[in-house]
Amino acid sequence: MTDLVKPHTLRRMRDLIERGLAPAEDRAALDAVAERYATAIPPAFLELIEKPDDPIGRQVIPTPAELLTAPHESIDPIGDDALSPVPGIVHRYADRALLKPLLVCPLYCRFCFRREHVGPDGGLLSDAQLDTALNWLRDHPAIREVILTGGDPLMLSPRRLGHIVRTLSAMPHVETIRIHSRVPVADPARMTPELLDAMETDRAMWLVLHANHAREITDDARRALRAVQARAIPILSQSVLLRGVNDTPEALEALLRAFVTARIKPYYLHQLDPAPGTAHFHVPIAEGRALLADLRGRVTGLAWPTYVLDIPGGHGKVPLGPDYLDQDAEGLHVRDPNGRTHDLPR
């Protein structure tokens, strides 16, 4: 009887080449990429790849293009490092803060703005560092919302995640806890009852799912997400506008509809953050605005995300539109979804 080999996460360039996911002639360049940026493609995500350059493969398969750094790209494109008062905390807005308990992910997106930091050895906060971070949050009563990110907080053990959630829940000023994760689509089997138990709290708990293409919302992912929703935890989505992934009206519409049918409210569509080696994913802002304008009136308002730019340097997120209201000397004018202009009273 042949022993069954359990599928494993692909991490080595040799394995990618052997599976036909990367050309052998790129081996030297891919090894150079691997020295700088982590690679991980878990089995559930691997099954979705039909060819290396499809919308799923592009997100996770390394390419020599990552060795090219454009002049405008930065290793800290949104200024996290300058806004970190203690390890594991980023404080950009007055009423909320990020808590990054680890920098490990189930997969490593080739466009990640934290790609210089995340990886299998990217770091779990030590007990002392975690205590310092939690004490910082405890000592800042203006913080009403804590966003668990990383890395991916659902890669924590149930014990450690539960400890963090319970500690935050005991802080009178913390009203909302948000968890940002790729796990439900990247490794849905990880969403065990024990991990869900660790998310239990009497505070407002939200899960924000990161997915970029409709095919990521598989049956297994839906079951994992439904298990979260069964705990009375609402789910929002965030996506990144990516060349070759979701940069057509059809692809973006399919993604937004997939979220809504899975009972997920589209939240943010991010303009790509300029991390090193990510220029091949860039979609100009004007094109992104046109994409959303094309969908206005075609998809329900439930499916409408806010298109946002995280201003480089740590200056915060701003909405990018599209805009429908104009003003001139003659008054106010509004465009309808079909592009017709209508005058409004002052």
Asked if 96 is an active-site residue, the reply is yes
> Which one of the listed residues 93, 294, 324, 335 is annotated catalytic?
93
Q: How far apart are CA 109 and CA 111, in angstroms?
A: 5
Q: What DSSP letter does each residue of 27-84 carry, written as one string?
A: HHHHHHHHHHS---B-HHHHTT-SSTTSTTHHHHS--GGGG---TT--SSTT-TGGG-
Q: Cα separations (Å) of 205 from 154, 168, 222, 232, 303?
A: 14, 11, 19, 9, 21
Q: Which of 105, 187, 215, 307 is catalytic?
A: 105
Q: Indicate if 93 belongs to the active site.
A: yes
Active-site annotation holder among 58, 110, 114, 222: 114
The answer to whether 131 is a known catalytic residue is no
Residue 179: phi, psi to the nearest 5? -115, 125
The one catalytic residue among 37, 108, 110, 112: 112
Q: Catalytic residue among 27, 36, 96, 257, which?
A: 96
From 109, 178, 215, 268, the catalytic residue:
109
239 pairs with which residues across the strands? 269
Among 37, 222, 273, 307, the one annotated catalytic: 273
Task: Reply yes or no on whether 335 is catalytic.
Answer: no
Q: d(Cα 306, Cα 293) in Å, to the nearest integer?
A: 12
Catalytic residue among 36, 138, 203, 317: 317
The verdict on whether 92 is a catalytic residue reads yes
> Which is catalytic among the residues 58, 92, 115, 178?
92
267 as an active site residue: the answer is no
Residue 114 annotated to the active site: yes
Residues serving a catalytic function are: 92-93, 96, 105, 109, 112, 114, 273, 310, 317
